[in-house]
Structures are given as C-alpha cells and as structure tokens.
Amino acid sequence: MNPKFESACHDRGDGTTYTKIAGVVDEDHELAILTPKLKTALRIVIDLADVERVNDAGARALHAWLDELSASGVAIGIDRVSSAIVARMNENPAFMGRATVRSFFAPFYCGACETEQVHLLRPEEVPPEGGKEGGKPPPQVCTECAANAEFDGTSDYFRFIRRIIGTRAVVAEPAAR
Ligand SMILES: [Zn+2]
C-alpha cells in the first residue's frame, strides 16, 4: 500500500460507478487497482477534490489511465477537480482525453473578511475571455461572512476550459474505430 495515494470506488445502483482519487499522484500511484472494475462500468464519475499534488510521472500515468478507460468505451465524468489537477490540465490541453470535466475548484478571496478560500465552479460558469466579464467567473458567497468573494487568480487558470468545450463537441460524435 502507498500511504500517500488513496482511492475508493462504489456503486450507487444508478448505473454509475463513483471513484475518488486523493492524496499524491506520483510514480507510486495505484491507479491500476481500479482499472478492472472501472473498465466494466457503464459510466464513471471520478472525484478529484482531494488530490493535493501531481508530479510529472503521476500526470503521465493519470493521463494514460484515463485514455485506457476511455478506449474501453466507458463514459467518464470528472468532478471537483483540485487546483493541482487544474494546473496539469492547463499544461497539457489533452490531459483529460475524452473525459468530461463537470466541476473544478478555483481560488477566491473575500476582501470583507480577508479570507482566501476555494469555490466549486462549473466550466460553463466562466465567461469566455474577451467578453465584458473578461473571462472571470462571477463572485461567490464568502464561506465566512457571506459577502462577495472575488476570483483570486489570472484568467490563465481557465485556459483548459477552451479545450473542454472543443472536447465536448468531439464526444457528441460517434467514436471512429
Ligand atoms: Zn468574507
């Protein structure tokens, strides 16, 4: 067992297999343990909220693993992507392969109570760059004082979203074999 890497898998009886990967994804990852169960699933939802760190070896492994699962025909939704994984998606636009990113965390700051915090966003909540909102997501309700927390990063943080929108269009077409 690798104490840095955690994973769990369960069915809720709705035809979807829910998987969670957490901790550090590096060369000691144990993704292969999940593969046989996930390859036979109809749909998979992978929760990445608690992935704290991904090194280069881990990023390559995760990317290859997602490709392998996609190749078996299973539909993959990715939920609650941590900022460590967002950084990898921004580095490599093809990082998620044919998986669909449904939600991700982004850094916010509340000026009223001076608190840094993360909020969960859906890709469609982030307006395109060049629009009047300048590619920034709307303010979120501060978790401490309920004032408005503003996005606390640069628009580069959302670079991966352009790729997602392109990927969705591809996914809608029948897979070429
Ligand atoms: Zn606040």
- 142 occurs within a structural domain: no
Above 60 in pLDDT, residue 167?
no
Q: What is the CA(117)–ligand 1 centre distance, in A?
A: 9
Query: Residue 17 is part of which domain span?
Result: 5-106+156-171
pLDDT score, position 27: 96
CA geometry: angle at 60 spanning 56 and 63, to 5°?
A: 135
Q: The CATH number of the domain where 48 resides is what? A: 3.30.750.24
Residue 93 lies in a domain: yes
Identify whether 60 is part of a domain. yes
149 found inside a domain: no
Residue 168 tokens read as: 């969705």
Q: What pLDDT does residue 174 have?
A: 43
- For the cut 50, the answer to whether the pLDDT of residue 168 exceeds it is no
Residues with C-beta atoms within 5 A of ion ligand 1: 110, 112-113, 142, 144-145, 147
- Average pLDDT of the segment spanning 66-84: 95
pLDDT digits 0-9 by tens, 44-74? 999 999 999 999 999 999 999 999 999 999 9
Helix (H, G, I), strand (E, B) or coil at 36: helix
Question: How remote is the CA of residue 113 from the centroid of ligand 1, in Å?
Answer: 4
pTM score over 0.85: yes
Confidence of residue 14 (pLDDT cuts 50, 70, 90): confident
Q: What is the dihedral of CA 157, 163, 166, 167, to 10 degrees?
A: -120
Task: Please name which of 158, 148, 82, 138 lies closest in space to residue 115, comparing C-alpha atoms.
Answer: 148
Determine, yes or no, domain membership for 160. Answer: yes
- Asked if residue 95 is part of any domain, the answer here is yes
pLDDT, tens digit (0-9, with 9 covering 90-100), for 109-160: 999 999 999 999 999 999 887 777 778 899 999 999 999 999 999 888 999 9
Q: Given the DSSP bridges, would you call strands 140-141 and 115-121 parallel, antiparallel or unpaired?
A: unpaired
- 3-class secondary structure, 152: coil
If one counts every other C-beta atom within 10 angstroms of the C-beta of residue 62, the result is: 23
The answer to whether residue 150 is domain-embedded is no
| pLDDT of residue 173 exceeding 80 | no
162 pLDDT higher than 60: yes
Say whether pLDDT at 175 is over 70: no
H helices, E strands: number in the chain: 4, 10
Widest distance between CA atoms in the chain: 55
Find the 125 Cα to ligand 1 centroid distance in Å: 21
Please state the domain count of the chain: 1
Q: Residue 128: what pLDDT?
A: 80
When pLDDT is cut at 50, 70 and 90, the band that residue 11 belongs to is confident
So what's the pLDDT on residue 176?
44
